[in-house]
Amino acid sequence: MPGSRRNDRPDSAPAVQEAFALTDDLLHSLRRALDDNSAARIEALLDGLHSADVADLIHQIGRERRKRLVENLKSHLDPEILSELDDGVRQAVVKQLGPAHIAAALAGLDTDDATEVLETLDQATQASVLTALDEDERTPIEEALAYPEDSAGRLMQRDLVAIPDFWTIGQTIDFLREATDLPDEFYEIIVVDPSHHPIGTLPLYRAMRMKRPIVIGDIMDADPHLIPVLMDQEEVAYVFEQYNVPSAAVIDNTGRLLGVIMVDDVVDIILEEAEEDIMRLGGISESNLYDSVFETTRQRFPWLLVNLATAVMASGVIAFFEATIEQIVALAVLMPIVASMGGNAGTQTLTITVRALATRDLTRANALRLLNKEFAVSIANGFIFAVITGVVAWVWFGSQDLGIVIFAAMVINIIVAGVAGMLIPLGLNRIGIDPALAATVFVTTITDVLGFSAFLGLAAWFLL
């Protein structure tokens, strides 16, 4: 599969090759340079690459070459690379470089990025890196780490531009020209009252068009979108998605300005949250493409174990009807169809419900209406597929009664699947459990157990 052959897919691949720095050619050249241990060639290949691209290369070259690459980067490591790495790989890189080196690198990062690097390290490494930092760099990071994981406090940066509303454009421009501790990037200026509560924002594109005597309070956007410092990152992402803001001020519980969250950090969160839902729906609690075989096996184990337990439970239902199956073997042939169709119908409703909860399209106010709709859809699809399956069974085994039994079992299972596919995630969400994490196993257990017992139970009753 590897090779430098050009991609011949009919889609936009050629354009992509131009637009992205990372090509297969680059990767292969880097591998060769690492195998030859040629420091000059390695440096030439990485020269001018964006830190995110270097991080991707570090991910993609495999464990041994990665060590060699990090060794080569050691003396001139771009600190941004650290913040772009996946957790597992970052742990390994930090271990390799040692606390002193990492502390020096963290000093070159914004507080939020430094915090992101540190929060994924184990306690001991975290402590030794913190000790190696200067006090004025350590304090803001320790303050950020004191906020709960996944809260706005962890995401925000302390560096920001805040001015009073009575300033003029002229004063603002002079301040910006002279200030030495401005953030690396900012898209708007936060306007604060005398007690440092944000009362508005001034987008730079507006500030730039105004003449010097104009007063900030007259041209700012009042009523800014404010983020409480303890807000969960999922809610933060929602504010940015919903209101299309490029940045937002973070406040403490008295309304005082603490920091600012930028849209590029939120883009990462949006990806992370969607990713988490996808993985959890797919039966993976944590995903890390670059983790070791041992670690990956360990991560996938719990879900498979739960699935084994529920599969054994479903088998218990079948065992209960052993005598019936002994008399009509056709039941063993047909029973997986009932369970499988219920499982699929349930998964469809479940997927919709989990996402609608995540995107806040499903609220307590419209839950009943959407439940009615799912119920109606389940009845429709239940009847359609029950008829098809009933006819298939009738023709296949030449028994009209068998057709009727599987028809009835399918209707019951698909309707219950639809209702359970919605009620279970709603219920889990209500009691504070992530519906994506647990709903799949509940729903498929119900459709398996109910599918087998409805089909075999009805068969035992009518056919014997």
**Residue whose CB is less far from its own copies, 194 or 294:** 294
Which of 108, 164, 217, 283 binds its own copies (CB under 8 A)? It is: 283
3-state class (DSSP) for residue 157 = strand
Segment near its own copies (CB under 8 A); pick from 99-107, 117-125, 139-147, 263-271: 263-271
400 contacts its own copies (rule: CB under 8 A): no
**Residue whose CB is less far from its own copies, 133 or 239:** 239
Q: How far is the CB of 460 from its own copies (least distance, A)?
A: 14
d(CA 64, CA 75): 19
98 contacts its own copies (rule: CB under 8 A): no
d(CA 257, CA 250): 6
Beta strands (DSSP E) in 236-359 are 247-251, 257-262
Residues 116-175 that bind its own copies (CB under 8 A): 173
391 contacts its own copies (rule: CB under 8 A): no
Q: How far is the CB of 384 from its own copies (least distance, A)?
A: 7
Long-range contacts of 277-285 (CB under 8 A, 24+ apart): 277/354, 277/355, 277/358, 277/436, 280/434, 280/436, 280/437, 280/440, 281/350, 281/351, 281/354, 281/436, 281/440, 283/307, 283/440, 285/437
Neighbours of 188 (CB within 10 A): 24
Q: How far is the CB of 312 from its own copies (least distance, A)?
A: 6
Segment near its own copies (CB under 8 A); pick from 70-78, 95-103, 117-125, 197-205: 197-205
Q: How far is the CB of 240 from its own copies (least distance, A)?
A: 7
Long-range contacts of 72-80 (CB under 8 A, 24+ apart): 72/34, 72/39, 72/42, 72/43, 73/46, 74/101, 77/101, 77/105, 78/51, 78/54, 79/105, 79/106, 79/107, 79/108, 79/109, 79/113, 80/51, 80/52, 80/109, 80/113
Segment near its own copies (CB under 8 A); pick from 15-23, 35-43, 91-99, 135-143: 15-23
Q: How far is the CB of 24 from its own copies (least distance, A)?
A: 5
The identity of residue 365, as a single letter, is A
Count, residues near its own copies per rule CB under 8 A: 143
Residues 30-59 that bind its own copies (CB under 8 A): 50, 52-53, 56, 59
Residues 225-254 that bind its own copies (CB under 8 A): 225-228, 230-232, 235, 238-246
213 contacts its own copies (rule: CB under 8 A): no
**Residue whose CB is less far from its own copies, 9 or 75:** 9
